[in-house]
């Protein structure tokens, strides 16, 4: 890692099948929308903890926390759609079942990060996948058949703008 400030978060990344199902949901929403800023397929994920701006020393500490965290593989299930109202267009998301293994992992991660000096998030954890921002549509959330995958790894991610696009990369 170099010496610049990195914008970091910890995530569950998806396999290609799950990404494909999420992209199909995005495409259905896109077809019903006047406009929207849709998450790139390679950026679809579940955030476990947003860390924020970090220097290389903090990034190393966060990576050590993640590498030391042990958990049994568990299932995540994407179960519904929803949105948060925003002035410039709504944020649409795919809801993730907040099952015990997921919530336990998120809590242990947050506690471990706080133990090495990271500020814990104030808001309650609500697992979801951001599908699109600034969406203008007359669509309402529709029912979906739940789908998901088995989680056996989490990733420390950096967020940066490359050629005008948000790019998330595991580090």
Q: What is the CATH number of the domain that holds 20?
A: 3.90.1140.10
CA–CA dist 155, 80 (Å, integer): 24
Region 71-89: what's the mean pLDDT?
96
Q: Which residue among the candidates 128, 131, 156, 157 is catalytic per the annotation?
A: 128
Q: How many domains does the chain have?
A: 1
The answer to whether 125 and 109 are in contact (CB under 8 A) is: no
98 in a structural domain: yes
Instruction: Provide the CA 11 distance to its chain's centre, in angstroms.
Output: 6
Helices (H), 69-141: 100-115
The answer to whether 78 and 100 are in contact (CB under 8 A) is: no
Residue 122: which pLDDT band, with cuts at 50, 70 and 90?
A: confident
Catalytic residue status for 155: no
153 in a structural domain: yes
165 in a structural domain: no
46 in a structural domain: yes
Q: Which residue among the candidates 12, 23, 26, 45 is catalytic per the annotation?
A: 45
Per-residue pLDDT tens for 22-79? 999 999 999 999 999 999 999 999 999 999 999 999 999 999 999 999 999 999 999 9
26 in a structural domain: yes
171 in a structural domain: no
Bridge partner list, 41? none
Give the per-residue pLDDT at 2: 56
Bridge partner list, 170? 157
62 in a structural domain: yes
Question: What is the residue range of 95's domain?
Answer: 6-158
Per-residue pLDDT tens for 128-163? 999 999 999 999 999 999 999 999 999 999 999 999
CA–CA dist 97, 65 (Å, integer): 25
Instruction: Provide the CA 70 distance to its chain's centre, in angstroms.
Output: 20
Dihedral over alpha carbons 18, 63, 52, 37 (to 10 degrees): -20
């Amino acid at each position: 890692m170099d010496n610049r400030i990195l914008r970091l978060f910890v995530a569950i990344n998806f396999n290609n099948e799950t990404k494909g199902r999420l992209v199909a949901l995005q495409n259905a929403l896109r077809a019903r929308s006047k406009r929207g800023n849709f998450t790139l397929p390679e950026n679809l994920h579940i955030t476990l903890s947003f860390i924020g701006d970090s220097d290389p020393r903090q990034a190393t500490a966060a990576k050590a926390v993640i590498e030391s965290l042990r958990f049994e593989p568990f299932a995540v299930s994407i179960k519904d759609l929803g949105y948060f109202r925003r002035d410039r267009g709504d944020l649409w998301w795919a809801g993730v079942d907040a099952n015990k293994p997921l919530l336990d992992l998120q809590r242990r991660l947050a506690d471990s990060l706080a133990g090495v000096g990271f500020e814990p998030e104030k808001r309650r954890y609500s697992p979801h996948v951001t599908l699109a921002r600034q969406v203008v549509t007359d669509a309402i959330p529709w029912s979906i058949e739940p789908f998901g995958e088995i989680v056996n790894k989490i990733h420390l991610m950096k967020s940066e703008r490359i050629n005008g696009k948000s790019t998330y990369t595991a580090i």
